Amino acid sequence: MFKPPSKLYRKLNSQTSCDIMQVHYSRTYGIHQRSFTSAAINIQRSPSFSKLNSDDIGYFKSMLGDKNVVQDEDRLSAANVDWMRKYKGSSQLLLLPRNTEEVSKILHHCNSRHLAIVPQGGNTGLVGGSVPVYDEVIISLASMDQIISLDKVNGILICEAGCILENLNSFLANEGFIMPLDLGAKGSCQIGGNVSTNAGGLHFIRYGSLHGNILGLEVVLADGTVLDMLGTLRKDNTGYDLKHLFIGSEGSLGIVTKVSILTPPKLLSTNLALLACKDFLSCQKLLLEAKRELGEAISAFEFMDSDAMDMVLAHMDGARNPFPSSSYNFYVLIETTGSDESYDKAKLEAFLLRSMEGGLISDGAIAQDINQASSFWQIREKLMFRKAMCWQGMSEATVKAGAVYKYDLSLPVEKLYDIVEEMRPRLGEKAKVVGYGHLGDGNLHLNIITKQYDNNILAQIEPFVYEWTSTHRGSISAEHGLGLMKADKIHYSKSPETVQLMASIKKLLDPSGILNPYKVLPQSMLQ
Amino acid sequence: MFKPPSKLYRKLNSQTSCDIMQVHYSRTYGIHQRSFTSAAINIQRSPSFSKLNSDDIGYFKSMLGDKNVVQDEDRLSAANVDWMRKYKGSSQLLLLPRNTEEVSKILHHCNSRHLAIVPQGGNTGLVGGSVPVYDEVIISLASMDQIISLDKVNGILICEAGCILENLNSFLANEGFIMPLDLGAKGSCQIGGNVSTNAGGLHFIRYGSLHGNILGLEVVLADGTVLDMLGTLRKDNTGYDLKHLFIGSEGSLGIVTKVSILTPPKLLSTNLALLACKDFLSCQKLLLEAKRELGEAISAFEFMDSDAMDMVLAHMDGARNPFPSSSYNFYVLIETTGSDESYDKAKLEAFLLRSMEGGLISDGAIAQDINQASSFWQIREKLMFRKAMCWQGMSEATVKAGAVYKYDLSLPVEKLYDIVEEMRPRLGEKAKVVGYGHLGDGNLHLNIITKQYDNNILAQIEPFVYEWTSTHRGSISAEHGLGLMKADKIHYSKSPETVQLMASIKKLLDPSGILNPYKVLPQSMLQ
C-alpha cells in the first residue's frame, strides 16, 4: 500500500481532538437572564382561542392522572422557553400523555373547547417552533418513549414519538443498525420532533431526507382522529402518501405519535479526516472530487471557516487548534463509512493524498485507531462521539459568545459562502460573522455574533439575508424549519400559490387552528 | 487475490446472456385482438361531467393549433388503450400542449366546463391509470420533452414532464450522472408519469424512493393554477412539502409539468451476477448477507422463480438457459455499482464464493468484461442493457403466454413467496403461477397466466390475494399504483381515516373531480 506523507497522518489523539469537543450539550433553562425576542414578533393572541378553566384542568386530571397534568411554575417555566432562550411563552399547563389514546382525547377536548396547543418534543429547535407563544397548552411527548419493534431482517424500527434520538441509536447499535440521521441535539431531541421538523443533520449526505427514510407514521389530527399510516413497507403506492404532509409541518397539521423508520445497517468501518483548505473554492472542488472518488462511502462532508474555528478555540474550555503550526481559512471534516475497514481507510488516505498533491487541501489529519486492539465498533463510536461533539461544540460556542443571530440557509454550493463574505463588510466591526455547515448538502449555518441583541443590527441583517437568499433561489430554512421566527418569511422561498395551498390544507386539517398556532404560515392567511 | 472456482465464473457471454434478452419492449396497440376488462369494473360515467362540443374543440384549436388537437381515429384508438390492452376508453380528443401555459389554459377551460381529463405520459402503466375510462379528454405530455438544465456540480436535472426516461439517462451519462430510477419501460415511459406514479424499479434498493430524490416539481392544478415548487435544493424546510402530494397521486391532484431531480454520479464500475438458489429461504439469506457485506455497493437485487425462468425460455425467441446443466428453483440477479472497478469486482467475487461455500447459492455466473480493452462505461452500459432487457423480457414473455393476471405486492421479505405457494394449489392445473420481482425491496410481482381471461378464475384469485396481503400488512400495490384496477381496493392497505383524508384532499384540490376520474380512490367517496 502506498504510504502518504506523515503530514497527512497527524494523529487526532485525545489531546487535540477531544479538547475541542469537551463541552456537553445541555439545556440552559433558568441559568442566564437574557432578553426574549418574542415580543418583537408582532402577533396578537388569537381571540378565537378560549382560556383554560378549572373544568378543563379537572378533565385532564381525571383522564391523565394528577402527575401528568403539570401546573408547577418551575417546570412550566422550563417548557415555556426554547433552548436559545429567544422565545418565551406563558403557558399555564403542560400535559404528559402516555399513549396515543390520551393524545387523541386531549386533542378532541382542546378542539371542541378551542384551546390552542403546542406539541413539544426535546425542545431543541432553533426557530421558536416548540414553545408556546401565548398560553397554549403544552403537550409533551416525553412519556411516550417506548420502542415497539425492530424487524432485524429489514432494519425497520417502530417506536413512539418521544424516544430520544441517541437512545434509539444506542438500541440499534446493539442490533447492527443505525438511525439514518444524526444531529448535535441527539441527546435531547425526540424522533417525533425530528420527523415533525424534517431534521437534516450530519448524515443527510449519505442517507438523505426523512421523506425517503420514514416508512410510516401514526398521527393524531386536531379533532382527535388517529391516522394509522404506520406502514413498514419500503414500497406502497396505494393512494396519496399522506405521511409526507406531517414530515416537516412542525406539529401544525397533527401530532406524530408513532414512527416507522428504515434504519441502515451499521457498517464496520468509519474513517474521519479533518482537513484545512486555503479558500472556499478548494472546499467546493474537494466536495466534487470526493463525490466522484469516494462516492457511495461518504457519510459526512462538513465545513467551517476560520472565524468559526477561532470562536471554538476562544470560547470552549481547553480547546486547542488541531493544526497548531498554521492558521487556515477553511476546515473540512470528511467521514466515510463502509464495510471493509482496511480498504476503506486506504481509499480515503489515497484520496486525501491526491487532494493534497493537487493543492485542494493544505493540511490534514486522519483519525487513527489509537489502540489497535480496539474493535471496529469502538473506533466508530469514538469517532462519532468526537465528531458530533465537535459540531455540537460549534453551536455551544456561539451561544456563549454573546447575542447570536442564526440563519440556516440552503444555497447552490457555489454561492454558499458569498453571503458570509457580503455580510462582513455590511456589518463591519459591530459583529463577527461566521459560516459553517453541511457543505455536502448545500446547507450553510450563518451565525452573526454581537455583544448583545440590537434592533439596529437586526435591521442591517434582515430582510437583507432573506432577500439575498431568495434572489439566489435558496431556502431561508434548510433544516431548522420556520417556527415562529420565520412564519411570515415563507414567501422568500415559496411561491404565493404554493403558500396559499398550504394555508388551505392547514384549514382543512385544523379548521379551528388549535395546532401550534402562529407558526409556519403567516397568521394573516389563516384568519 | 483469491481465485474462486471456475464454476462461479462461467462467462455470461453474448450467447448465453443476450439470448434471453432479445425481445424489445414495444407497444402493441392494434396488433392483437383481446377482450377488454374495463366493462367488468362497475363504474358509471359521472353525470356531473359535460360532453365535448364544437366550441370546446374550436377553443383548443385556436389555442394549441390544429395539429395539436387530435381527433384522428387511429391515433385516438392507440391512446384509448393501455399497453396490456386490458383497459379501453372512448375519448374523442387528444390534446398535445407544448408548454405549461398551454396545460394551464386547457385545465382552466376543462374545469370551468366540467370536462373530465386524463393526463397521459408514456402510457406504460399496468393498472389502467393512464387511459380514459369513458370520454375523458386525453392530455398527452409527449410534446413537453425539453431538458431545461443540469447543474453539473450537484447533479440536479430540471426537465419537462414528457422527457422519456431512457433519453434522460443517455443525456446524463455523457455528463457523468445517472437517473436514480430504472425500469423495464424506460424506452417509453416519461418522467412526469414516473413521478405521478412514484415509479420504483430496479435501482430502488440503492437510490430509494422518488420521494427522496425529487427536489422540486411544477404542477398545474385542476383550475389551471400553476404551482411553482421547482426547487433545486437538497434541503428546504419552508412550510409543508407539498410536492409529495403529487408524487404517486396518479395525476388525480394535478398534472406534473416540470421535474427537478437529484441524479447520482455515474460510478465507474458495475458488476452483475446471475445466481441459482435451491429454495426461497436461501434467496432471503443471501439478501441479508449481501446487505451486510456488500452494503453500500448493491444497486439491484432481483429474483425470479423457475416457473418464471421457464416462461422466459419457452416464449422468448432464441432464449437459452444460462445454467444448461441443471434446473434450479430460484434465480437471483445481483448488481453492484462502485467507484473502484478491480476492488468492487473482487469484493463481489469473494462474497459469491463465500455464499457458495456456505450453501446459499447452488450455481452462479458473474458477467465478465468480454473485451478487456472496453472502457468502464461501455461495460456498464452493456450490463445495464442486458439486465433491463432481461427483466423487461419477463413482462413481455408473460404477455405472450396468454391471459395474465398481474399483482404487484409489497410484503415482508420472509412472507414474500408464501402467496405464490398458496396460490398454486388453489388454482391447480388451470393456471401457471409465477413469482419474480425486486426482492431487495420486498416487492413481489405475482403473475398468474391462463389460456384466456375467465371470470371464474378471477373469482378464485380476488379478493383472496388482496385479503392475504392485507392480513400480512402488505401493500396491494408496491409500485404500480391503484389506477382504475384497484381504486376500490384501497382499504386493503390503508385505514378508513386515511382514505377519508385522501378524499378530502382530492375534493380540496379538484372540487369538480375532473382530474383522472374513477381512479385511485373509490368513486363512492368522491360524490
Q: Give the three cell numbers for residue A226.
A: 388517529
Shortest CA gap A212–chain B (Å): 4
Q: 3-state secondary structure string, A269-325?
A: EEEEEEEEECCHHHHHHHHHHHHHHCHHHEEEEEEEEHHHHHHHHHHCCCCCCCCCC
Residue B36: Cβ within 10 Å count: 17
Q: What is the pLDDT of residue A403?
A: 82
The stretch A394-421 carries a mean pLDDT of 81
Shortest CA gap B39–chain A (Å): 23
* A495 contacts B228? CB cut-off 8 A: yes
User: Is residue B16 over pLDDT 70?
Assistant: no
Shortest CA gap B139–chain A (Å): 22
Q: Cα(A209)–Cα(A180) distance, rounded to whole angstroms?
A: 9
User: Is residue B29 over pLDDT 60?
Assistant: no
Shortest CA gap B72–chain A (Å): 34
Q: What is the pLDDT of residue B395?
A: 55
Q: How confident is the model at residue A41 (pLDDT cuts 50, 70, 90)?
A: low
Give the burial class of A131: count Cβ atoms within 10 A of its Cβ; 0-12 exposed, 13-18 middle, 19 or more buried.
Answer: buried
B449 membership: H or E segment, kind and range: strand B443-450
The stretch A78-89 carries a mean pLDDT of 92
Residue with cell 459560516: A435
Which of B240, B260, B267 to mutate: most A Cβ within 10 Å?
B240
- Residue B210 φ then ψ, to 5°: -60, -25
Q: What is the pLDDT of residue A377?
A: 23
Residue B120: Cβ within 10 Å count: 28
Question: Which bin fits A283, alpha (ψ -120 to 50), beta or left (φ > 0)?
Answer: alpha
B245 to chain A: which residues are within 8 Å by CB?
240, 244-245
Type of residue found at B256 = V
* B295 contacts A267? CB cut-off 8 A: yes
Shortest CA gap A151–chain B (Å): 9
The stretch B152-168 carries a mean pLDDT of 95
What stretches of A321-435 show up as alpha helix (H) in DSSP?
341-357, 376-401, 418-427
Task: Tell me if A90 sits within 8 A of A203, measured CB to CB.
Answer: no
Q: Cα(B76)–Cα(A440) distance, rounded to whole angstroms?
A: 48
A302 to chain B: which residues are within 8 Å by CB?
none
* B244 contacts A241? CB cut-off 8 A: yes
Q: Give the three cell numbers for residue B68.
A: 395539436
Q: Give the three cell numbers for residue B513.
A: 373531480
Q: What is the pLDDT of residue A401?
A: 55
Q: What is the pLDDT of residue B273?
A: 85
Task: Tell me if B154 sits within 8 A of A413, measured CB to CB.
Answer: yes
Q: Nearest to residue B238, comparing CAs of A527, A188, A407, A322?
A: A407
User: Is residue B443 over pLDDT 90?
Assistant: yes
Q: What is the pLDDT of residue B341?
A: 82
What are the tens digits of pLDDT across the range B325-348?
Answer: 667 899 898 888 888 888 888 999
Measured over the CA atoms of residue B181, residue B184, residue B190 and residue B195, the dihedral's sign is negative
Type of residue found at B443 = N
Contacts of A357 (CB under 8 A, 6+ apart): none
The stretch B129-155 carries a mean pLDDT of 96
Q: What is the pLDDT of residue B95?
A: 98
What are the tens digits of pLDDT across the range B205-238?
Answer: 999 999 999 999 999 999 999 999 999 999 999 9
Task: Tell me if B265 sits within 8 A of B257, measured CB to CB.
Answer: no
Q: What is the pLDDT of residue A63?
A: 98
Q: How confident is the model at residue B165 (pLDDT cuts 50, 70, 90)?
A: very high
Task: Tell me if B423 sits within 8 A of B465, measured CB to CB.
Answer: yes
B267 to chain A: which residues are within 8 Å by CB?
295-296
* A208 contacts B490? CB cut-off 8 A: no
What are the tens digits of pLDDT across the range A50-65?
Answer: 999 999 999 999 999 9
The residue of chain B with its CA nearest to that of A411 is B233
Task: Tell me if B332 sits within 8 A of B289, measured CB to CB.
Answer: no
Q: Give the three cell numbers for residue A425.
A: 463588510
* B295 contacts A339? CB cut-off 8 A: yes
Shortest CA gap A456–chain B (Å): 26
* A253 contacts B197? CB cut-off 8 A: no
B494 to chain A: which residues are within 8 Å by CB?
229, 238-239
A294 to chain B: which residues are within 8 Å by CB?
339
User: Is residue B24 over pLDDT 50?
Assistant: no
Q: Give the three cell numbers for residue A290.
A: 470526493
B216 to chain A: which residues are within 8 Å by CB?
none
A220 membership: H or E segment, kind and range: strand A214-220
Nearest to A442 among B204, B234, B482 (CB): B234
Shortest CA gap A502–chain B (Å): 6
Q: Cα(A30)–Cα(A74) distance, rounded to whole angstroms?
A: 9
A248 to chain B: which residues are within 8 Å by CB?
237, 240-241
Q: What is the pTM of this model?
A: 0.88
Q: What is the pLDDT of residue A273?
A: 85
What are the tens digits of pLDDT across the range B501-511?
Answer: 999 999 999 99
What are the tens digits of pLDDT across the range B180-205?
Answer: 999 888 999 999 999 999 999 888 99
Question: Which bin fits A114, alpha (ψ -120 to 50), beta or left (φ > 0)?
Answer: left
Tell me what percent of chain B is helix, strand and coil, each rounded to the nearest 5: 40, 20, 40
Nearest to B240 among A225, A284, A505 (CB): A505
Task: Tell me if A445 sits within 8 A of A398, measured CB to CB.
Answer: no
Q: How confident is the model at residue B401 (pLDDT cuts 50, 70, 90)?
A: low
* A241 contacts B198? CB cut-off 8 A: yes
Q: What is the pLDDT of residue A378?
A: 29
The pLDDT > 90 percentage for chain A reads: 64
The stretch B308-330 carries a mean pLDDT of 72
The stretch B476-480 carries a mean pLDDT of 95
Q: Give the three cell numbers for residue B293.
A: 457485506
Q: What is the pLDDT of residue B3?
A: 33
Q: Cα(B236)–Cα(B215) distance, rounded to whole angstroms?
A: 9
| Cα A116 from chain centroid (whole Å) | 25
* A294 contacts B296? CB cut-off 8 A: no
Identify which of A381-385, A386-390, B281-285 has the greatest average pLDDT. Answer: B281-285
Q: Nearest to residue A197, comparing CAs of A252, A259, A142?
A: A252
Lowest-confidence range among A40-44, B170-174, B391-395, B412-416? Answer: B391-395
Q: What is the pLDDT of residue A1?
A: 29
A231 to chain B: which residues are within 8 Å by CB?
473, 475
Q: What is the pLDDT of residue B84?
A: 80
Distances (CA, A) of A192 to A93, A120, A161, A228, A255: 21, 9, 4, 15, 8
Pairing outcome for strands B226-229 and B255-262? unpaired
Is the bond into B463 cis (omega within 30 degrees of 0)? Answer: yes
The residue of chain A with its CA nearest to that of B474 is A233
Radius of gyration over alpha carbons of chain B, in Å?
23
Residue A179 has, within 13 A of its CA and on its CB side, a CA count of: 27
* A267 contacts B296? CB cut-off 8 A: yes
User: Is residue A46 over pLDDT 90?
Assistant: yes
Give the burial class of A47: count Cβ atoms within 10 A of its Cβ; 0-12 exposed, 13-18 middle, 19 or more buried.
Answer: exposed
User: Is residue A470 over pLDDT 50?
Assistant: yes
Q: Cα(B159)–Cα(B258) distance, rounded to whole angstroms?
A: 6
User: Is residue A43 over pLDDT 80?
Assistant: yes
Nearest to B235 among A221, A291, A441 (CB): A441
A499 to chain B: which residues are within 8 Å by CB?
239
Lowest-confidence range among A460-474, B86-100, B313-327? Answer: B313-327
What are the tens digits of pLDDT across the range B31-42?
Answer: 233 334 433 567
User: Is residue A36 over pLDDT 60?
Assistant: no
Which of A100, A149, A238 to mutate: most B Cβ within 10 Å?
A238
Q: What is the pLDDT of residue A372?
A: 29
What stretches of B238-340 show up as alpha helix (H) in DSSP?
243-246, 280-293, 306-315
Q: How confident is the model at residue B365 (pLDDT cuts 50, 70, 90)?
A: confident
Q: Cα(B136)–Cα(A365) distance, rounded to whole angstroms?
A: 65
- Residue A494 φ then ψ, to 5°: -130, 150
* B340 contacts A347? CB cut-off 8 A: yes
- Residue B113 φ then ψ, to 5°: -95, 0
Q: How confident is the model at residue A400 (pLDDT cuts 50, 70, 90)?
A: low
Residue A440 DSSP SS3? helix
Is the bond into A496 cis (omega within 30 degrees of 0)? Answer: no
Strand order in the sheet with B214-220: B147-151, B156-160, B255-262, B214-220, B226-229
The stretch A421-447 carries a mean pLDDT of 92
Q: How confident is the model at residue A320 (pLDDT cuts 50, 70, 90)?
A: low
Bigger pLDDT: A294 vs B460: B460
Q: What is the pLDDT of residue A8?
A: 37
Q: What average pLDDT does chain A have?
A: 85
